[in-house]
């Protein structure tokens, strides 16, 4: 099986699996005051410190959640509840993940003004365009770091810097799901007040994520109950999942640049061979190499996906969260004409050049078998 759907989810690494299994043996509630409870609490503390160090943050700024969807919902609804009575505008980009776009839609239905900034005709976002949408009535700007369908890297640092200089009290949230542990960044330089992270995109288990909340930023919780996570995210902590998340981060942190260079080589090989064989590469050359959007003219995405699946190659037709629905994101990037024939190839460092070559071979076979049948 050749797995090129890593933007949807990754295979848990051996270190994460081992950490999960070990934590399952240390089964006590981390809030319990006895020795077993303390052992569980120490696992959570170690993972929190690991994630914080990888971000360049403080441990007390990291809150574990069930995943990036909860993290983004907490950030957006929390910002609205904290400041929405005085300020009524939310600014996002037009290519956000549903975890951001859907809460924005709900707030709009409740009377909030939502501004969705689109890229220019060249398919690129510009920091000045996004910053210009922020005014004195804005309570939050939320934008992703890496687009999950094309790999496009948005100008987050430049945009946040422009906004903070003119509107220092606007809350800045970044969905870093496709960037964390894949492209180098630190919270201080990025300039975000809040950052959403996901475990299963970086070889940790599903069902675990985190929200970075900059010290000094105060928003109300999304979940209430027993007061876990310093009262910000109630619910007994899932120690095994948190342990797996921490273990994956600990493994990947030292090799972010090395893996980026390696995956960049795979992306360059794929792009070169696509061009040689007449397939379109929709992702820009300076996009994240981990996500590559390609098209085979004359073949519908779903047909091509299943053709490859029968030959033990896994790709996707877009975001896994869309479940096969036509992507509006590709249209925003000016790719509407090819969206019906687009598949997403998403890498991890476990992929190989031979796998890329096999994909190209099977794309060529698909074109011969399916496009030229009379």
State the DSSP string of 315-365: -BSS-GGGTTPPPHHHHHTT-GGGGGGEEEEE--TT--HHHHHHHHHHHHH
> What is the C-alpha to C-alpha distance for residues 213 and 235, in angstroms, rounded to an integer?
18
* Alpha carbon distances (Å) from 144 to 35, 196, 255, 274: 41, 9, 23, 28
Residues 6+ apart with CB under 8 A from 88: 111, 112, 113, 137, 139
Three-class SS state of 276? helix
Sheet with 209-213: strands ordered across: 62-65, 209-213, 194-198, 171-175, 138-144, 89-93, 113-117
Helix, strand, or coil (residue 196): strand
Give the count of beta carbons closer than 10 Å to the beta carbon of residue 322: 15
- Residues acting as catalytic residues: 321
């Amino acid at each position: 099986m050749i797995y090129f759907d890593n933007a949807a989810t990754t295979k848990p690494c051996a270190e994460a699996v081992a950490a999960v299994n070990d934590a399952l043996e240390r089964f006590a509630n981390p809030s319990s005051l006895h020795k077993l409870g303390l052992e569980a609490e120490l696992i959570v503390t170690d993972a929190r410190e690991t994630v914080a160090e990888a971000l360049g943050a403080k441990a007390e700024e990291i809150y574990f959640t069930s995943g990036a969807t909860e993290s983004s919902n907490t950030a957006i609804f929390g910002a609205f509840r904290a400041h929405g009575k005085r300020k009524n505008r939310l600014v996002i980009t037009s290519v956000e993940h549903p975890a951001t776009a859907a809460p924005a839609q709900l707030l709009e239905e409740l009377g909030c003004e939502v501004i969705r900034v689109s890229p220019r005709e060249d398919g690129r976002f510009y920091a000045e365009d996004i910053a210009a949408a922020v005014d004195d009535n804005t309570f939050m700007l939320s934008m992703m770091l890496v687009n999950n369908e094309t790999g496009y890297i948005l100008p987050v640092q430049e945009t946040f810097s422009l906004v903070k200089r003119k509107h220092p009290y606007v809350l800045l949230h970044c969905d870093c799901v496709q960037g964390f542990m894949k492209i180098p960044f630190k919270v201080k330089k990025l300039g975000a007040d809040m950052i959403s992270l996901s475990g299963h995109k970086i070889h940790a288990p599903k069902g675990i994520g985190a929200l970075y909340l900059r010290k000094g930023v105060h928003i109300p919780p999304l979940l209430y109950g027993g007061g876990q996570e310093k009262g910000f995210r109630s619910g007994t902590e899932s120690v095994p999942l948190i342990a797996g998340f921490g273990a994956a981060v600990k493994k990947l942190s030292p090799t972010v640049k090395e893996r980026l260079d390696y995956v960049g080589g795979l992306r360059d090989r794929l792009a070169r061979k696509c061009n040689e064989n007449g397939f379109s590469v929709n992702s820009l050359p300076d996009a994240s190499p981990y996500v590559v959007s390609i098209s085979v003219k004359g073949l519908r995405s779903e047909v091509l996906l299943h053709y490859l699946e029968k030959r033990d190659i896994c790709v996707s037709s877009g975001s896994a969260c869309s479940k096969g629905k036509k992507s509006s994101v590709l249209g925003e990037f000016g790719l509407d004409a090819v969206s019906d024939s687009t598949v997403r190839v998403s890498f991890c460092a476990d992929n190989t050049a031979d796998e890329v070559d096999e994909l190209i071979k099977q794309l060529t076979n698909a074109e011969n078998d399916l496009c030229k049948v009379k």
